[in-house]
Amino acid sequence: MNHKFLRSEADAAVDALLLQEVILYPTDTVWGLGCDAESPRAVEALYQLKARPAEKACIVLVADEAMFARYAAVVPPSLPELLATQERPTTYVVPGSRHLAPNLLAPDGTIGLRVVLHDEFCRLVLRRLGHGLVSTSANKSGQPTAAIYSEIAPEISREAGYVVSWRQDDTTRAAPSRVVRVLADGTLAVLRA
């Protein structure tokens, strides 16, 4: 692994995010579009790029349990154990949220949060950014999800404020995350296994 290249790409992505631009980047699952999760202007730009209906919420990647707790109105008491034992990326849909762009939330006020455990690029971006990173599939709304970079439509690359070069040649196919709803009492219900 070329750590210098990794750091350089992460720094460039963070610079673009701080300018409230939309980035095209490899996530811990599939290729995604992302922006600053606390910036309504950046979230609006992302929705316009995707041609995504405003009522369809995106998820937010976070660096750790503390960042999860910053945004979640309800944190499952078992979160530390869940993170320690999860075998694949898992998004937790939580009721209510704090400190996020209001236009990022679902109509029912929920938001999906995912702690990135194993993807070095995303973890580095999150640590350097210092707060949540929106993540949504790198496609126009309703189009197929791009699992690898070569499947991304050219217009998505052209319209993104910054296109990350890291892992563009990686042909490893990843699946979308598992999705679990956190109920008001902290219990869990699996939405997508």
Residue 75 has pLDDT above 80, yes or no: yes
Query: What average pLDDT score do residues 24-43 get?
Result: 97
DSSP 12: H
Task: Name the residue with tokens 């699952």.
Answer: 29
Average pLDDT over the chain, rounded to whole?
95
Cα dihedral across residues 35, 37, 41, 47: positive or negative:
positive
Query: What average pLDDT score do residues 180-188 get?
Result: 89
User: What per-residue confidence (pLDDT) applies to 121?
Assistant: 98
In contact, 163 and 156? CB cutoff 8 Å: no
In DSSP terms, 34 is beta-bridged to 23
Q: Cα 33 to the chain's mean position, in Å? A: 8
Residue 1 has pLDDT above 80, yes or no: no
Which 3 state secondary structure label does DSSP give 159? Answer: helix
How would you write 41-67 as a 3-class SS string?
HHHHHHHHHHCCCCCCCCEEEECCHHH
Share of the chain above pLDDT 90, in %: 88
For the chain, give the number of residues: 193
Per-residue pLDDT tens for 140-181? 999 999 989 999 999 999 999 999 999 999 999 988 899 999
C-alpha neighbours within 13 Å on the C-beta side of residue 156:
27
Task: Name the residue with tokens 């949504």.
Answer: 136
Task: Domain of residue 174: give its range.
Answer: 3-192
Q: Cα 110 to the chain's mean position, in Å? A: 15
Where residue 70 falls (left for φ over 0; alpha for ψ -120 to 50; beta otherwise) is: alpha
User: What per-residue confidence (pLDDT) applies to 185?
Assistant: 86
Number of domains in the chain: 1
Query: What average pLDDT score do residues 68-91 get?
Result: 93
124 vs 77, residue with greater confidence: 124
Query: What average pLDDT score do residues 59-64 get?
Result: 98
Per-residue pLDDT tens for 95-153? 888 999 999 999 999 999 999 999 999 999 999 999 999 999 999 999 999 989 999 99
User: What per-residue confidence (pLDDT) applies to 184?
Assistant: 83
- Give the C-alpha separation, 53 to 140, whole Å: 11
Least confidently predicted of 60-64, 70-74, 111-115:
70-74
User: What per-residue confidence (pLDDT) applies to 30?
Assistant: 93
For the record, the structure tokens of 26 come out as: 């490899």
For the record, the structure tokens of 141 come out as: 């709304």
User: What per-residue confidence (pLDDT) applies to 54?
Assistant: 87
Residue 117 sits in a domain of what CATH number? 3.90.870.10
Comparing CA positions, the residue from 155, 48, 169, 68 lying closest to residue 117 is 68
